[in-house]
Structure formats: C-alpha cells, structure tokens
C-alpha cells in the first residue's frame, strides 16, 4: 500500500483507490451527497467551468504559496475540512490527519462528530509542530450545556477558532446510508457527544436518525450570538450560501465566513459553492476572511477560489481517501499533491505569490 500511494499523481487517483478498498458502509457514508446528488456533482463541475487567463513573462522563478489564513501564516491557502468518524477510513483516524496537516503547515478543522477527542488530536498536531492550528467544528444541539462544554474543552485543548456549522437545521437525506442501514461500527465512539444517561447516537436507521438530537431545527441568529458570547474563541460560520446571510453573520460578530453546502450532503439543488462565493465575497466586503469548500480537487481550483476573493479553501473527502489509502502518509501525500499543483498553477498563471492572484485571471 505504501509503495502504491507514492505512485498516485492526483486526488482522483486516491478517490478511485479508496472507493475500491473501503467497505461499503463507510465508503458510501463518505462519498454520498443528498438525494439525487446534483449539488455534489455541481460543486466539482462548477470549478472546471472557470477558465484561467494566465499571464506570461512575469519571472516566477522565485515564488511562494504561503498565505495569510485567519490572521496567521499558513504554508498554503488551504485547510482540512471537518469530516466525521475518520477512524472508519483508517485506525489512526483523526490522529493521522492531525499529524499530516501539521506537517503540511495547514490548519485542521476537527469535526464535533469525530472518533478521536480534541485533546488527543491537539497532542498529535503539536507533536509535529508546536505551532500547529486546530479549529473545532460545532453544531448547536438541543443540549446547550453540552455545546458550551465542548466549546470550553476546545479552548482548553488549544484550538484557536470555533467553526459553527449552520446548514443543518435537520440532516440531509442520503439514500445510500439509509439503504445500508448505516451505523457507527462497534468499538468506535463519537467521543464528544457521549453523556452519562444520554442517547449513545449509535442506534437508528442511518447516522442522521441516530444523531437527530445533536442538532436543533429551531436555531436562529440568537443562538449564534449565544455561542459567540460563550467562548473567547473567534467563530467562523460554515455553510453560508447567500449574500445576506454572510453579511448578517459578519454584523453579528462572525470572524470568518465559510461558503459551503456541506459537500452536497444537505440541500440537494443548492448552487455550487463556486457560484455562491462571489455573492458572499461582495457582501462581506473585506471585513473578515471568506473561505470556501466543496469539490476542490486541484491546485487550479485553489487559484480559482482566490481569484474569486476567497482567502483559502478547505478539502473534505480527499483527506478521507488519503486516510483509506495509507493513514498519515496517505493524507500527507494528498496535501503534498495539492501543494505541488498549487505551486505549479501559480507559476503557469504568472503569479509569484497569492497576492498576485487577482480577479482578472478569471475575467480578463
């Protein structure tokens, strides 16, 4: 397996391999989108539609991919998106991802539905790089005390931001999981959500039936304000599609906007994130960083996102494919491929650094 991943040239190679080797239940849980998976497909297709009007003769011999990311420097404008239950892809799960992300010099967003605790993930990340960054993804569930406790835990563990996911008033319907009777494998735990006497979250038809209690359909902006005031950490809002919501979030104190449709797993028929991004960038008007995820698979997609005004992109599934192919080494290779592709893209587009990536590269 180790020798194999060295030969993988693209994130698509990892995807093909992972889909072939993973057992049905985790494979389908990871790959699936909601309903007809229209938005899932559109997320990827929309990047491909953008043409890059490259510049020539710009002396790109010395260039750098380094970028400001939420107020600090990162090796490139990329972070690892939160994905649940990474131990289903590899026994090292989130620990492998944490080490690989730290090694690559990019932040990791840890899912609140992770199979490893935030304390262990922080220890793994800082063992590689004491300055490694971890952001904690949160849902506001019905038990607000548990939400506040997790925010405090994340702060105490050394996370430097909260990422509040707001595109999940209810869970999207993923038919593959229902057909497979998805359940959390025996011996695996959704560690942050276990409470004495509370539902274990391990029963039900599909994870979303089992985890219905972890979200709350009654959420409003007031709940965001409550979380903002419950933690000293900056809060990034994840799952924004519309300009007015991006603007409202910033007015109420969000420190970042992550344009996302949950990888096509929530509302099928929602626009590709690349199509939502420019509206949100305009509405935010530079007040806070805008990030985007969904279908980012190539270094060219990273450049496209920046040209549309994003500060960085996040990648979800490719990290799971990397884990499935080779644990930490697999994720490291996925991030290395993206870094290399982005470096080559910068050069070929005539850019020495990320600040050379301007909107005219897409609309000359």
Ligand X SMILES: Cc1cc2nc3c(=O)[nH]c(=O)nc-3n(C[C@H](O)[C@H](O)[C@H](O)COP(=O)(O)O)c2cc1C
Please provide residue 210's backbone torsions phi and psi, each rounded to the nearest 5 degrees: -65, -35
CA-wise closest residue to 334 among 1, 73, 8: 8
Q: Is 294 in the site for ligand X (CB under 6 A)?
A: yes
Using CB under 6 A, pick the residue from 65, 83, 231, 345 that binds ligand X: 83
Minimum CB distance to ligand X, residue 114 (Å):
8
174 touches ligand X by CB under 6 A:
no
Q: Are 216 and 141 in contact (CB under 8 A)?
A: yes
Given candidates 317, 327, 357, 361, which one binds ligand X under the rule CB under 6 A?
A: 317
Spatial distance between the Cα atoms of 315 and 277, rounded to a whole number of angstroms: 16
- In whole angstroms, the minimum distance from the beta carbon of 324 to ligand X comes to 12
Cβ-based neighbour number of residue 100 at 10 Å: 29
> Cβ of residue 232: shortest distance to ligand X, in angstroms?
21
Task: Tell me which residues in 259-288 interact with ligand X (CB under 6 A).
Answer: 260, 262-263, 265
Task: Out of 17, 133, 174, 238, name the contact with ligand X by CB under 6 A.
Answer: 238
Using rule CB under 6 A, residue 295 touches ligand X: yes
**Between 81 and 332, whose beta carbon lies closer to ligand X?**
81
Task: Tell me how far, at minimum, the Cβ of 30 lies from ligand X, in Å.
Answer: 4
Helix or strand (DSSP H, E) at 257: strand 256-259
How far CA 149 is from CA of 153, 154, 200, in Å, comes to: 6, 9, 17
Q: Could you give the CA distance from residue 31 to residue 165 in angstroms, rounded to a whole number?
A: 19
Q: Which residues, 120 to 139, sit near ligand X by CB under 6 A? A: 137
End-to-end CA distance of the chain: 45
Active site residue 340: no
Residues in contact with ligand X, total (CB under 6 A)? 23
Quick check: 113 binds ligand X (CB under 6 A)?
yes
Orientation angle between helical segments 38-49 and 273-284, nearest 10 degrees:
70
Q: Which of 39, 165, 231, 345 lies at the binding interface for ligand X (CB under 6 A)?
A: 165
Does the footprint of ligand X cover residue 93 (CB under 6 A)?
no
The 10 Å Cβ neighbour count of residue 257 is 29
Residues in touch with ligand X (CB under 6 A): 29-30, 43, 81-84, 111, 113, 137, 165, 238, 260, 262-263, 265, 293-296, 315-317
């Amino acid at each position: 397996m180790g020798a194999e991943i060295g030969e993988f040239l693209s994130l698509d190679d990892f995807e093909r391999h992972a889909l072939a080797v993973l057992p049905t239940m985790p494979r389908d849980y990871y790959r699936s989108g909601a309903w007809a998976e229209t938005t899932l497909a559109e997320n990827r297709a929309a990047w491909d539609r953008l043409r890059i009007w490259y510049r020539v003769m710009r002396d790109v011999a010395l260039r750098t991919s380094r970028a400001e990311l939420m107020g600090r420097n990162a090796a490139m404008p990329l972070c690892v998106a939160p994905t649940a239950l990474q131990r289903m892809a590899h026994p090292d799960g989130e620990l492998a991802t944490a080490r690989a992300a730290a090694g690559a010099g990019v932040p990791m967003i840890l899912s609140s539905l992770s199979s490893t605790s935030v304390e262990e993930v922080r220890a793994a990340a800082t063992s590689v790089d004491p300055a490694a960054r971890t952001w904690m993804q949160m849902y506001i569930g019905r038990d607000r005390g548990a939400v506040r406790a997790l925010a405090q835990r994340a702060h105490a563990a050394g996370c430097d931001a909260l990422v509040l996911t707001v595109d999940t008033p209810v869970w999207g319907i993923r038919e593959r999981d229902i057909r497979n009777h998805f359940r959390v494998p025996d011996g695996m735990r959704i560690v942050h959500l276990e409470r004495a006497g509370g539902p274990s979250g391990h029963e039900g038809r599909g994870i979303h039936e089992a985890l219905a209690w972890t979200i709350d359909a009654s959420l409003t902006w007031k709940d965001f304000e409550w979380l903002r005031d419950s933690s000293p950490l900056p809060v990034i809002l994840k799952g924004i599609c519309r300009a007015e919501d991006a603007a409202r979030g910033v007015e109420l104190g969000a420190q970042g906007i992550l344009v996302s449709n949950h990888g096509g797993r929530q509302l099928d028929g929602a626009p590709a994130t690349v199509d939502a991004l420019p509206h949100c960038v305009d509405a935010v008007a530079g007040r806070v960083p805008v990030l985007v995820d969904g279908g980012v698979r190539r270094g060219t997609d990273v450049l496209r996102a920046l040209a549309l005004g994003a500060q960085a992109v996040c990648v979800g599934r490719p990290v799971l494919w990397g884990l499935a192919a080779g644990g930490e080494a697999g994720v490291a290779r996925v991030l290395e491929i993206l870094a290399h592709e982005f470096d080559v893209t910068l050069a070929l587009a005539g850019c020495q650094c990320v600040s050379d990536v301007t909107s005219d590269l897409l609309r000359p």
